[in-house]
A and B are shown apart, each in its own frame.
Chain A
Amino acid sequence: MDINNTDTQIFMVGRGGQGILVLARALSEIAFKKGRRVITSETHGMAMRGGTVTSSLKIGDFASPLIPAGCADILIGLEQNDTRDYLHMLRPGGITIVNTEDRNDFTYAVDATGIALNQGLKGSANMIMLGFVIRYINTDFYDACAVMESISPKRVLDQNIKALEIGFETASNEKYNQSH
């Protein structure tokens, strides 16, 4: 998939506190940097206290931020059970990129939480997922780093860039390059 010239609708789901907002914000800034029009929708308030949080990003000529059911090109899940509840958002042929140890049911499974814990990057599973996704949507790694530098608090910037790199490399691994 290439967001440089295709209208793309990306639906994201996770649990409050996992960093869905930062993931969505980073992807929108990356697409905007490539000269695309973007509109996103975010969840704020009480749901962010550990509840189900969703976010949508529409790249292209769209007026409204919500993605209708059956229209998402990509479904990114930070939590596998929550993701299963939103599979109806995908269009036929759409792909899922999910943070899970379990490869079944999803197009791409990335054990971002496990990797984050092993690498001492607690709390950065969302950035590992972002690294994976940008590889998939044909985005330059350094473009993504530049965006993170502009939106990330200084305190966690180094950790975020490291996580981004790990995610990007994971996607570059051979086993993920097999076509699905």
Chain B
Amino acid sequence: MEAESDNIDCKNEKILLGNEAIAYAVLASGASVVTSYPGTPASEILTTVMKLVKEQDLPVHAEWSINEKTALEIAFANSISNKRSAVAMKQVGLNVAADPVMSAAYMGVRGGLVIIVADDPGPHSSQTEQDSRFFAMFAKIPVLDPGSPEEALTMTMAAFKLSEKYKTPVMVRPTTRVCHARQAVAVPGITPEARPALFEKEPHRWAATPGPRLKLHIELNTKVKSITHDPLAGVKLLNGKDESSQAIVASGITYAYLKDIMQNKPEWRDLSLYKIDMPYPLDPESLDHISRSHTNVMVVEETEPVIEYQFPCRRNVRGRIDSTIPNAGELTPDILTPIIDTFLGLKRLYPEIHTTKQRRPSLCAGCAHRAAFYAIKKALPKGIYTSDIGCYTLGLNLGAVDTCLCMGAAISQAAGFFHAFKHEESPPPIVATIGDSTFFHAGIPPSVNAIVTGARFVLVILDNATTAMTGRQPTPGTGSVASDFNHDGLSLEQILEGCGIRSVITKDPYDIPGFIKIVKDAYDLSASQGVVAIIARHPCIQDRAMIGTQQAFTMSVTDDCNACGYCVKEFECPALEMGEDTVVIDPTICSGCGVCVHVCPRRALEAKPL
């Protein structure tokens, strides 16, 4: 680390990813417990915390928690022990952590508690575009909206101070473009805080029954009111005058976009541009002052009209509510420029942007999930296939994923489909697929539930021994999820049996014929046993350590290929493409796994051991 920074460091500046900047800020603020569950665009926050803790031998407990709810509760307990704490997650993770957040806001904190929630306008890698700033408003906790890696760092540090000043959890809400931007930032020094743990018993707060909760709610309202007068709540005028015909109020990355566009737009020169760092809670009087001082005001923010709704009078306020700004999708510079031009009464000189066609993502060449999906489809072609959140959602390209609702829902939805169809004459087979990390996160309660309510389906755990899509974080099954504790990992077999599942079969899906047989057998068995589980076990192909140990083949297409296209369509491996007369294998992509030999109906794909 030191050698590295000497090489590229000038004036203690370093190019950091937004998420890395947040990690530095968390540790520089003296947090002693940092928790997270991986999720794009937030994953690199804890990865970086773990790396720094190890490199600098810091007395910090960092952990990949089993899910976001658990992560938040652990951080909260550390915080009410008077120690600084941080928890990081993606926006849908906050839905999972909603229960403790709502209650923690009432109770308040002692050591600073910063909840970092990364939103994903677009969405680029999420189920929803939900705006976590609304969640902060719902929970009545302040939220900061950084617009660059630099601001992500300074605002995270400010959030700890704000949290302790008002004894409230504070949310920091970066968006994808901030999390995954890189910028040179001044790196703060990390000195661990030596504050001792101290828990003052106060049952009417920490274990409050409904009666005292009303008092806590009133206390919370008073906090919110005083935060609106904090310097951080100020609305900053950064361009133009405080009295003019047109004003724009922006926050987060949208402010940064406007600043850059303005440099090349002399016609925007007179525009009054305000910046808001803390979109909730806002002082209604300062917003009212803005709408009274200008003929028209436009609010530019991602993703929902959080600031806009807080204007006491919106008669001359434009934005998402009146659809001046589209109320879905990311606000890129290309989308913003014509909107602002129109608002300012300028002619649209900007060319219309045609949407580019994007190549769809696909499971990696050599991914064992592909083999499992292919086998499931072959074994039970008329099935309903419920699935879940992870790389394996891409099984939909193979026609082997019919549903993907939220973490853990593959299993509860499988039960739901069973009950929906059980009185039909010939109910379809139901196969749930869920990854190992997702199973630990939210798959255990619905498994127990399915067993005790008589649901019948085949449950396939796609166990690649990692949280693959977010960059291969460890899972409770692999162990080593905490910075200061070693664990060998729990057995999925034992957990499934503990859930009450009587038959648990483990099999490598690379053996497609064998896997097809097991899926068929499991389905037959489910008639008498309810839920039958298969663990499809094969390590992630991105895991370099395993690539070395796996038998590799040189693949070729023989003269028997008649270009029927079956393998390209049904197996959907990115290394297989339709050529002119035959299928061709792209050697730059092929992993040499050899699985596709089982797929070709004419046996025209050949594998020779390397």
Which A positions have Cβ atoms within 8 angstroms of B? Answer: 15-17, 25, 28-29, 32-33, 35, 37-52, 61-70, 82, 85-86, 88, 113, 116-117, 122-123, 125, 146-147, 149-150, 155
Contacts and interface: CB of A to CB of B under 8 A. Distances in A.
B590 to A, nearest CB: 10
Interface in B443-487: 469-471
B15 interface: yes
21 contacts: A29-B8, A29-B15, A40-B181, A42-B181, A42-B182, A43-B180, A44-B40, A44-B471, A46-B361, A47-B124, A47-B125, A49-B361, A49-B363, A49-B364, A51-B360, A64-B147, A64-B148, A64-B256, A65-B148, A66-B257, A67-B333
B336 to A, nearest CB: 9
Contact of A16 (B8, B41, B148, B361): B361
A147 B391 contact: no
B261 interface: yes
B7 interface: yes
Interface stretch (B302-310, B350-358, B502-510, B524-532): B350-358
B286 interface: no
B184 A37 contact: yes
Nearest to B7: A150
B259 interface: yes
A45 B357 CA distance: 18
B177 interface: yes
Contacts of A15: 359
A59 B469 CA distance: 30
Contacts of A32: 8, 15, 184
Nearest to B43: A44
Nearest to B367: A49
Contact of A62 (B124, B182, B260, B332): B260
Contact of B588 (A46, A49, A51, A113): A113
Contacts of B394: 46, 49
Contact of A43 (B10, B124, B253): B124
A28 B148 CA distance: 16
Contacts of B181: 39-42, 65
B360 A150 contact: no
A36 B259 CA distance: 19
B359 A64 contact: no
The 8 A-B pairs of least Cβ separation, nearest first, read A45-B125, A45-B40, A51-B361, A64-B256, A65-B181, A85-B356, A63-B256, A68-B333
B363 A69 contact: no
A150 B182 contact: no
A4 to B, nearest CB: 15
Contacts of B469: 45-46, 49
Most buried by B among A39, A64, A85, A88: A64
Contacts of B188: none
Nearest to B17: A42
Contacts of B177: 41, 64-66
Contacts of B261: 68
B334 interface: yes
Nearest to B40: A45
A68 B261 CA distance: 9
Nearest to A67: B333
Contacts of B333: 64, 66-68
B358 A63 contact: no
Interface of B: 4, 7-8, 10, 15, 17, 40-41, 43, 124-125, 147-148, 177, 180-184, 253, 256-257, 259-261, 263, 332-334, 337, 351, 353-354, 356-364, 391, 393-394, 469-471, 544, 574, 587-589
A113 B359 CA distance: 19
A65 B151 CA distance: 13
Contacts of B588: 113, 116-117, 122-123, 125
Given A28-B15, A28-B182, A45-B469, A146 B362 contact: no
A50 B576 CA distance: 13
Contact of A17 (B8, B337, B356, B364): B364
Contacts of A16: 361
B40 A64 contact: no
A150 B9 CA distance: 11
Contacts of A61: 263
A113 B587 CA distance: 10
Contacts of A44: 40-41, 43, 125, 180, 471
Given A44-B41, A46-B393, A51-B361, 15 more contacts: A39-B181, A39-B183, A51-B360, A62-B260, A63-B148, A64-B257, A65-B148, A65-B182, A68-B261, A69-B334, A70-B351, A85-B357, A117-B588, A122-B588, A150-B7
Given A40-B181, A64-B333, A52 B148 contact: no
Nearest to A153: B544
A88 B354 contact: yes
A124 B471 CA distance: 20
Given A38-B15, A50-B574, A51-B360, A88 B391 contact: no
Nearest to B5: A150
Contacts of A38: 15, 182-184
Given A51-B361, A66-B332, A146-B7, A155 B544 contact: yes
A58 to B, nearest CB: 8
A50 B587 CA distance: 15
Contact of B148 (A39, A42, A46, A123): A39
B469 to A, nearest CB: 6
A52 B15 contact: no
Most buried by B among A16, A35, A65: A65
Contacts of B182: 25, 28, 38-40, 42, 65
Nearest to B263: A61
A38 B183 CA distance: 6
A117 B590 CA distance: 13
A100 to B, nearest CB: 13
A35 B10 contact: yes
A116 B589 CA distance: 13
Contact of A68 (B40, B337, B587): B337
A64 B253 contact: yes
A45 B177 CA distance: 13
B170 to A, nearest CB: 24
B40 A69 contact: no
Most buried by A among B125, B260, B263: B260
A19 B257 CA distance: 27
B124 to A, nearest CB: 6
A33 B8 CA distance: 6
A46 B470 CA distance: 8
Nearest to B353: A69
A178 B133 CA distance: 54
A149 B3 CA distance: 11
A50 B41 contact: no
